[in-house]
Every structure is written in C-alpha cells, then in structure tokens.
Amino acid sequence: MRFILSSILLILTFLIGGCGDSTKSAKGAVKKKWYKGNLHTHSFWSDGDEFPETILDWYKSNDYQFIALSDHNTISMEEKWIQVREDSVYQNSFKNYLATYGEDWVDYKTDSGKVQVKLKTYAEYRDLFEKPEDFLVIHSEEITDGFEGKHVHMNATNIQQKIDPQGGNSISEVMQNNLDAVLNQRKETGVPIMPHINHPNFYYSISLEDMISLKGERFFEVYNGHPAVHNMGDTTHISTEEMWDQINISYIAAKKPLMYGLATDDSHSYHKRGRKWSNSGRGWVVVKSDSLSAPSLIEAMERGDFYSSTGVTLKTLDIDDRNIKVEVEPEAGVDYTISFIGCLKEETEVKELKTVEGTTANFELTDDILFIRSKITSTKLQENPIEDIKYETAWTQPYLNN
C-alpha cells in the first residue's frame, strides 16, 4: 500500500469515518472498509481438535473476513500426519471431514485399524478458501516459550519463516528475545509482520513490569477467549484491562508508541462448547483498512484503526479535531453504556471521564487529557461467556492527545 497523504491526513485516516461498508477518511483519500477477523486460532497442527479446513469454513460462514491459524511453534508448511484418536469426537471429526471434502482432497491411510490423515499445509488450505475482498487466511505462528514453568506466548501474524522459541534468563528476556526475532524477520524480509503478546495472565506468567519492559511491542490481548487466561485477574493480580492502561501510562512517559488491545478467540475446542472450553466466536477485531490484505490490515492496526469486541458492533467511530464520537449499531431490546476512560496529564491513574447511557456519545478533548479510549458495554449477555465476563463489550484503541 502506498501512502501519498500528508502527515495530517495520515492521522485523519484513523480519525474520520464510520463503521459501515465503506467510508472516505478525507477528501480524495482511498475508501476504507471495516473487516472482522480473529488473530488467534488452533487446529490439528498443534493442540486444536479440528482440521484447518473445517475451522476456516466456520469462520467464513460466520461473517469473518480474515483469520490467522496460529498453531504452536509451526507455520504448517511441512509434512505432518496425525492419527485419529479412538475418542468419538475425533472419529466424528474425521468422518465429517471426509464427507465434506471427499476422497480426492483428503489424504489418509489405515494401518492396523488406525486411521492416519495427512494435514493440508497453509499453502493448500488457503487456496481453498481465499477470495479477494471476501476472505483472507493470514500465515501465523504462536511462538510458544517459557521460563521456570511460566508461559510466554507470542503470536507472529503474517510470518514468512518459522521462528523457534528464543529462550532467555527471565520472563522479560524471553519476551524480548522472541519479539526481536519477529521484528528482525520483518526488517530482513521487508514484509509487515505483527507480533502480539498473548494472554499475560495465563498462569499469571507475565507481570505488568514485564510488559512495561518491552521495546518494540505494540499489541497484546486485552481479551482472550480461553477459559484459563484470567482476563479479569483476581484478588492479587490486576485485570488485563487495568494492565493495558498502566502500560500506556508508562509507555507515554518513556516516549514509546501506545500499546493497542486485541480481542481474540484462542480457539482449540470445536466439538464441545461451554465455559470450560476454548471455543470460536468469543473475541475478534474489526479493522478499518483500504483492502483485505495482510500488509494493509497490519498497517491499519499499527495506526490504531480498529476496535476489539466480544459482540458489540460500532456504526461510527470518529475523532474530528477535538471531538470523539462513538455510535453503536444497535440491536432491538439492548441497552448500551459508552464510557470514555482516560488519564489526565500529571496523573498516574485512569478514570472514567464521561459515561453515556445510549447508542451515541460525544467527548470533547481538553488540553489536560493525556490519552483517552472508550469502552462500550451492552446489556446483552454473551452467548458463550468465560470467567465472569457476562455482557457483550467493545473497546476502542487509546488516542494520545498531543
């Protein structure tokens, strides 16, 4: 994507435009659309319980425009055979896979009564589903590392070559080493590759201090749909949303770019649904981009041109001069609360600066505000919630008030 806009228009690309099918960010600018996607998904290539094609079909059929299959420490390019377990879940998965895609597509063999199936590679399954401006499969890897029993996981979206876990002598060093490996590949290839920190509260492995220490990270999961990741924290650990604000207060003081917050599924379980299982459809991002391509999506996200959601859809998200406007695409019988959350200059804690009950809210920026974001909460219960996160929610990205 080639930008010939002035620096002011680059900012306005984010600031202007609703969340409909398409908008113009500024007079003469390229039309942009909003694309819904999930950036954290697992399959039989690692610890998921379904074939990639079946997973991709679900997302495409449920109105997602892009998906990243991010299996652990693999980019799904080598030859891999799996043995179909005797459990009925896996037997039914294979039967459905064979019935759906047929003998010409499914490569399998039987040995001593055991069925083995050759998994399709990224290059094979993407061609089956991709369609320009309709559906995109992004190459991804969950770089899965650790330190002294703690878990350090990082996704690399639009990865070009497999990256092995880099290790290190502390949690923060392991994180930085893996982050540097992703950023180095990006520099060497010239291809936009987006690293993001996964579920910091998973086994409470990654602390606020670890996150603050990072150099070069722009994204982390403020919401992850796995039932064991403790998005809400507990009596001795802060929530990921609280962590998000504290990271940004520190980053701004250190003159680092803002940290943006993602919502993801982290789906593994495609046959059993409920609070105990990591299912599809819990969390996603909606990105405002000029095209449905990995480079364009990543460039848009690095500008903050997206929101994260567990169910709420935005109709309008505008920042024009000194005013922020948020408008929800309402559902019948559902009420909404729009909160503007920010930090004032010279302060070290965030607060709710304004709350509106309704589908539309405006916020006037004043010089004393350091940064601001909005959170939209509905009265609609999530269809398949985890933890004590009951209601559908959306989060816009923080805006630095220069």
What are the extents of the domains in the chain? 7-80+119-400, 81-118
Q: Tell me: the pLDDT tens digits for 49-80?
A: 999 999 999 999 999 999 999 999 999 999 99
Per-residue pLDDT, 30: 74
Per-residue pLDDT, 13: 39
Compute the radius of gyration of the chain from its Cα atoms.
21
Across-strand partners of 108?
Answer: 117
Tokens of 38: 């999930």
Q: Tell me: the pLDDT tens digits for 152-166?
A: 999 999 999 999 999
Per-residue pLDDT, 100: 98
CA 229/CA 202 separation, integer angstroms: 4
Q: Tell me: the pLDDT tens digits for 104-124?
A: 999 999 999 999 999 999 999
| Residue-wise DSSP of 216-229 | S--EEEEEE--TTS
Does the domain made of 7-80+119-400 have the CATH classification 3.20.20.140?
A: yes
Alpha helices in 151-238 (DSSP H): 171-189, 208-213
Residue stretches of the chain with pLDDT short of 50 = 1-26
Q: Could you tell me if 58 and 270 are in contact, meaning their C-beta atoms sit under 8 angstroms apart?
A: yes
Q: Name residues whose C-beta falls within 8 Å of residue 149's C-beta, 6 or more positions apart in sequence.
A: none
Residue type, 190: G
Q: What angle do CA 292, 293, 298 make, to 5 degrees?
A: 105
In this structure, how many other beta carbons lie within 10 angstroms of the beta carbon of residue 164?
11
Q: Could you tell me if 326 and 317 are in contact, meaning their C-beta atoms sit under 8 angstroms apart?
A: yes
CA 186/CA 180 separation, integer angstroms: 10
Per-residue pLDDT, 198: 99
Per-residue pLDDT, 68: 99
Q: Name residues whose C-beta falls within 8 Å of residue 148's C-beta, 6 or more positions apart in sequence.
A: none
Q: Could you tell me if 145 and 174 are in contact, meaning their C-beta atoms sit under 8 angstroms apart?
A: yes
Q: Could you tell me if 192 and 298 are in contact, meaning their C-beta atoms sit under 8 angstroms apart?
A: yes
Per-residue pLDDT, 143: 99
| Beta strand ranges found along 75-188 (DSSP E) | 81-83, 107-111, 114-118, 136-147, 150-157
DSSP state of 358: S
- Nearest of 248, 311, 390, 335 to residue 36 by alpha carbon: 311
CA 209/CA 177 separation, integer angstroms: 16
Per-residue pLDDT, 321: 75
DSSP state of 84: P
Instruction: State pTM to two decimals.
Output: 0.92
CA 336/CA 357 separation, integer angstroms: 6
CA 7/CA 398 separation, integer angstroms: 19
CA 143/CA 196 separation, integer angstroms: 10
